[in-house]
Amino acid sequence: MKTIEVDDELYQYIASQTRHIGESASDILRRMLKISAVSQPVTPVTKDVVSQPSVVAQAKPAVTPAKDKVRAMRELLLSDEYAEQKKAVNRFMLVLSTLYSLDNKAFAEATESLHGRTRVYFAGDEQTLLQNGNQTKPKHVPGTPYWVITNTNTGRKCSMIEHIMQSMQFPAELIEKVCGTI
């Protein structure tokens, strides 16, 4: 991984091309430049007068999905969008959206087993959550088919995130870091 410096205007333009939460700058640039993620031989442009040997890029070993998930969560925590959120509920919703986008099946399994003694925390529609209490303040989780109750304290929100991330097999240190930012 290399680091490049870009001016603010270019950075804002690249950031505006983000299609989903957790998308890396490399992914955005690859899409914009129509370059596939698979490394291909790179041949330098040479003038006819000077002959230079070809340079071939070394193919990186495939990154495991687990590392991609961890990277995406770390990128979320470092993102401007996340940092700009002033309310815990907004950070909570961003984390939920990102977790869903990383593995919607694992997210579904985790939320099915997540409920309180008398409360349902996640549902496919607002009405289901309202049936379990009119004061639950259900909100739609952006980019997902899920609704979640939001009138819980920050500690409860953290324990919901913790349950989902453990179920999705995230490392304990990352779970702790995410919960510490909500």
pLDDT of residue 86: 93
What is the residue extent of each domain of the chain? Answer: 1-61, 65-181
pLDDT of residue 60: 42
Range 1-61 has CATH code 1.20.1380.10: yes
- Per-residue pLDDT band for 81 (boundaries 50, 70, 90) equals very high
The mean pLDDT value for 128-146 works out to: 89
* 3-state secondary structure string across the chain: CCCCCCCHHHHHHHHHCCCCCCCCHHHHHHHHHCCCCCCCCCCCCCCCCCCCCCCCCCCCCCCCHHHHHHHHHHHHHHCHHHHCCCCHHHHHHHHHHHHHHHCHHHHHHHHHCCECCCCECEECCHHHHHHCCCCCCEEECCCCCCEEECCCCHHHHHHHHHHHHHHCCCCHHHHHHHHHHC
pLDDT of residue 117: 77
**Closest by Cα among 154, 7, 46, 10 to 95:** 154
Which is more confidently placed, 143 or 34? 143
Q: What is the reported pTM?
A: 0.64
pLDDT of residue 161: 97
Which is more confidently placed, 103 or 20? 103
pLDDT of residue 40: 52
Range 65-181 has CATH code 3.30.1330.10: no
pLDDT digits (tens, 9 = 90+) for 22-46: 667 777 777 878 876 655 555 555 5
Mean pLDDT of the chain: 81
CA dist 105 and 164 (Å) reads 12
**Count of other CB atoms within 10 angstroms of residue 161:** 21
Least confident of 63-77, 85-99, 126-140: 63-77
pLDDT of residue 169: 94
**Closest by Cα among 96, 90, 89 to 73:** 96
